């Protein structure tokens, strides 16, 4: 079985569980750091492992543009490409197409867009978005949906929701027909470059990534005969069981209308999939509305399957979403905020460039056990940030990820112990800053 979700404990609506994927196990509830271009910016993979990261999110839109799906496929899939022998989830590309591309045109077929990098023209359809995700080879992949803009009138939200449902069916049909083309279907051995999958053909009409680098031709996989080369390749895959495939999740939409959210959830789960996500939230709506939309959809998502709330949240909000029954979340906030000098601590948010830290010998967070707080002072981190040093972004990111992951660990522990309500009551409101 390629994918399984096992619930170990419940506390109220919260659940503690495990996802079993081809590349490993993920304890839930889980916060997935975003590694957009197959890298969590500035943080090496061994540091991610030290932090206890179990699953990363990669963006299909960005990887499709560079290095291109065919390159990742030829190198055995994104886990092997980025030397991350652990689970990975890819989004479908739909959100970035809407948020990053200047010119885009949506039709029933899909979305025509221009690359934000070089203006080249591309098309994402449910079929090509699934094809791309198959080629990239993440363990969990997402249906191609339309992330309804906000605000949206009811009629518009309904129209968008309906198209997402039609696109979900096309996503699943394509997936079922092509899922065996995932690069590690044969158990993680090198992809044979002489076999171009039909999925690759589906992409090639639109995949201009080969031209992106100018002189970069589609180069056949090179065998490196050195021991070290083999070592570098072979130790990355501990052994994906042959015959496994990816797990495709569906996405609930419905704008900011509880009844549409409910209907979207009901109709999405009519299509049998291993997991379901709630999309189209945290797009500018007031936070109470986010919680309301999650509550509207949640009762209609299967209790025995993972629920993934996309694109959230702050360290306090992620705890509240778990209380609503969410098992998986992702957000650029901890990593992006870190690169901008905003650090999350047990005492609230902290802006490291503030002058008051110039001679502060203490760690970012006295209660944090991460390696950054165990070694570096606020004064030093402030100096690094104010001097625009690379290390500032690296260390800030390590701390913020540690904070999020530690929060999730403590949430999970509380659920296992039946103490989640107590834990929740101790979560400070999100707007307070550190003293």
Is residue 365 among the annotated active site residues? no
Strands 348-351 and 342-345: antiparallel
What are the start-end ranges of the E strands in 22-153? 24-28, 30-33, 56-58, 88-90, 104-106, 111-114, 121-124, 140-142
Nearer to a copy of itself, 232 or 417 (CB): 232
What are the start-end ranges of the E strands in 14-139? 14-21, 24-28, 30-33, 56-58, 88-90, 104-106, 111-114, 121-124
For 241, the token pair is 């069981």
Q: Are 62 and 29 contacting, i.e. CB atoms less than 8 angstroms apart?
A: no
Nearer to a copy of itself, 71 or 197 (CB): 71
Nearer to a copy of itself, 121 or 224 (CB): 224
Distances (CA, A) of 343 to 53, 211, 370, 393: 19, 39, 13, 11
CB of 229 to a copy of itself, least distance (A): 4
Cα(195)–Cα(70) distance, integer angstroms: 12
Q: Are 273 and 249 contacting, i.e. CB atoms less than 8 angstroms apart?
A: yes
Is residue 201 among the annotated active site residues? no
Nearer to a copy of itself, 317 or 365 (CB): 365
Cα(341)–Cα(352) distance, integer angstroms: 5
Q: Are 28 and 36 contacting, i.e. CB atoms less than 8 angstroms apart?
A: no
CB of 216 to a copy of itself, least distance (A): 4
CB of 366 to a copy of itself, least distance (A): 4
Nearer to a copy of itself, 279 or 334 (CB): 334
Residues that bind a copy of itself (CB under 8 A): 37-46, 66-67, 71, 74-75, 81-83, 190, 213-217, 219-224, 226-229, 231-233, 236, 355-356, 358-363, 365-368, 371, 373-377, 379-380, 382-384, 386-387, 389-391, 393-395
Nearer to a copy of itself, 82 or 301 (CB): 82
CB of 300 to a copy of itself, least distance (A): 40
Which of 91, 145, 206, 365 is catalytic? The answer is: 91
Cα(114)–Cα(97) distance, integer angstroms: 9
Nearer to a copy of itself, 311 or 363 (CB): 363
CB of 81 to a copy of itself, least distance (A): 6
Q: Which residue has tokens 């943080």?
A: 43
> Of the candidates 257, 274, 277, which has an alpha carbon nearest to the alpha carbon of residue 94?
277
Which of 11, 206, 327, 330 is catalytic? The answer is: 330
CB of 302 to a copy of itself, least distance (A): 37
* Other CB atoms within 10 Å distance of the CB of residue 13: 15
CB of 317 to a copy of itself, least distance (A): 26
C-alpha gyration radius of the chain? 22
Q: Are 40 and 33 contacting, i.e. CB atoms less than 8 angstroms apart?
A: yes
Which of the residues are catalytic? 91, 330
């Amino acid at each position: 079985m390629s994918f399984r979700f096992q619930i170990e404990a419940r506390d109220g609506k919260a659940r503690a569980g495990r996802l079993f994927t081809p590349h490993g196990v993920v304890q839930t509830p889980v916060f997935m750091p975003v590694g957009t271009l197959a890298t969590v910016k500035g943080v090496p993979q061994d540091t991610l492992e030290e932090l206890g990261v179990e699953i990363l999110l990669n963006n299909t839109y960005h990887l499709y543009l560079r290095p291109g799906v065919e390159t990742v496929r030829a190198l055995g899939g994104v886990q092997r490409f980025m030397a991350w022998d652990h689970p990975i989830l890819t989004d479908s590309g739909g959100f970035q197409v809407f948020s990053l591309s200047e010119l885009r045109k949506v039709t029933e077929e899909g979305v025509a867009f221009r690359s934000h990098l070089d203006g080249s023209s591309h098309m994402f359809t449910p079929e090509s978005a699934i094809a791309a995700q198959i080629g990239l080879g993440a363990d969990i992949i997402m249906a191609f949906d339309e992330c309804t803009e906000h605000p949206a009138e009811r009629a518009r939200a309904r129209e968008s929701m309906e198209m997402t449902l039609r696109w979900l069916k096309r996503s699943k049909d394509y997936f079922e027909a092509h899922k065996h083309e995932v690069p590690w279907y044969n158990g993680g051995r090198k992809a044979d470059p002489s076999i171009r999958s039909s999925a690759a053909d589906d992409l090639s009409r639109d995949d201009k990534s080969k031209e992106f680098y100018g002189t970069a031709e589609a180069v056949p996989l090179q065998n490196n005969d050195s021991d070290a080369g083999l070592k570098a390749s072979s130790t990355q895959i501990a052994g994906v069981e042959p015959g496994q495939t990816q797990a495709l999740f569906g996405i609930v939409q419905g704008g900011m209308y509880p009844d549409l959210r409910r209907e979207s959830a009901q109709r999405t789960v009519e299509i049998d999939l291993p997991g379901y996500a709630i999309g189209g939230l945290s797009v500018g709506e007031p936070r109470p509305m986010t919680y309301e939309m999650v509550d509207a959809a949640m009762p209609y998502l299967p209790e025995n399957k993972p629920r993934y709330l996309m694109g959230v949240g702050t360290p306090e909000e992620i705890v509240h979403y778990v209380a609503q029954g969410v098992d998986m979340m992702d957000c650029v906030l901890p990593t992006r905020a870190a690169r901008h000098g905003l650090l999350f601590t047990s005492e609230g948010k902290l802006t490291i460039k503030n002058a008051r830290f110039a001679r502060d010998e203490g760690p970012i967070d006295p209660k944090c056990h991460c390696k950054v707080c165990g070694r570096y002072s606020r004064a030093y981190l402030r100096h690094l940030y104010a001097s625009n040093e690379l290390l500032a972004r690296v260390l800030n990111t390590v701390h913020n990820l540690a904070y999020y992951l530690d929060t999730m660990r403590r949430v999970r522990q509380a659920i296992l112990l039946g103490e989640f309500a107590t834990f929740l009551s101790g979560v400070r409101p999100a707007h307070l800053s550190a003293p």
